[in-house]
Amino acid sequence: METIKAIHTRHSVRAFKDDPIEPQLLTMIVTDAQQTPSWGNSQPWQVYIATGHALTNIKQHYATAAEQGITEDADLAKVHRGDFSAFASQNMGHWVGTFRPVIDSDPTTYWDSRANLYRAPAIAYLVLDANPNSWSIYDLGAFSQTLMLAATARGVQSVPSYELVKYPAIVRNALGMPADKVVAMGIALGYEKPEKPLNQFRTDRVATPQVLHIIN
């Protein structure tokens, strides 16, 4: 798939098929993402991909934590609309308003999907060393976008989500990570169920003239 087509085709998938992703394909996607630029070529990321029994373990422990009312404790602090600029907050509000009818049209699928980590057959956890600086977090964002575009180009869909990283201790334990690793981001990977309204939804983008300033 051409790069521009991948950019415009990629979308967040929130309901996946059970079909597994071959390890070789996952390796190719991460190898593609390794082309991401970073500050001084620091390449600060590590990638742990949970599949099979390891992912089942994570999902079961997440469900138990939620049932027991255990407080979420993400390594990168959760932020709310009020923590963003007025411009960003307005965009978020518009997204909520357009996405809410989609949720309401099939709430069972939405809440079941979230509770079961989108029923993805693979989750890529993007990890940083302890106390990452702002540029390493920026670089990780670039890496995550490259990874998702590579996945799209290779026929695999994705969704980045806070839901995947809200209990980092469970993830570290299940995947054998050192205790000082920062579970910064999670990306669910798999093959979408195209018939689901959740997957048919497309987010609006701000018009280019509102964000682009070319000064001569």
Q: CA–CA separation, 148 vs 71, rounded Å?
A: 29
Q: Closest by alpha carbon to 143, among 73, 46, 19?
A: 46
Q: Residues 6 or more apart from 214 whose CB is under 8 A from it?
A: none
Do 158 and 121 meet the contact criterion of CB atoms below 8 Å apart? no
Query: Quick one: pLDDT at residue 81?
Result: 87
Query: Quick one: pLDDT at residue 60?
Result: 97
Q: CA–CA separation, 184 vs 198, rounded Å?
A: 25
Quote the distance between the C-alpha of residue 166 and its chain's center: 12
State the distance between the two ends of the chain, measured CA to CA, in whole angstroms.
35
Query: Quick one: pLDDT at residue 106?
Result: 87
Q: Closest by alpha carbon to 123, among 65, 167, 72?
A: 167
Query: Quick one: pLDDT at residue 135?
Result: 98
Q: Residues 6 or more apart from 189 whose CB is under 8 A from it?
A: 21, 26, 29, 49, 120, 121, 122, 123, 124, 151, 156, 157, 158
Options 3.30.230.10, 3.30.420.10, 3.20.140.10, 3.40.109.10; CATH of 3-203: 3.40.109.10
The per-residue pLDDT string of the chain (216 residues; one tens digit each, 9 = 90 and over) reads 689 999 999 999 999 999 999 999 999 999 999 999 999 999 999 999 999 999 999 999 999 999 999 999 999 988 988 999 999 999 999 998 999 999 999 888 889 998 999 999 999 999 999 999 999 999 999 999 999 999 999 999 999 999 999 999 999 999 999 999 999 999 999 999 999 999 999 999 999 999 999 999
Q: Residues 6 or more apart from 122 whose CB is under 8 A from it?
A: 20, 21, 26, 49, 50, 51, 55, 188, 189, 190
Query: Quick one: pLDDT at residue 190?
Result: 98
Helix, strand, or coil (residue 68): coil
Locate the domains of the chain by residue range: 3-203
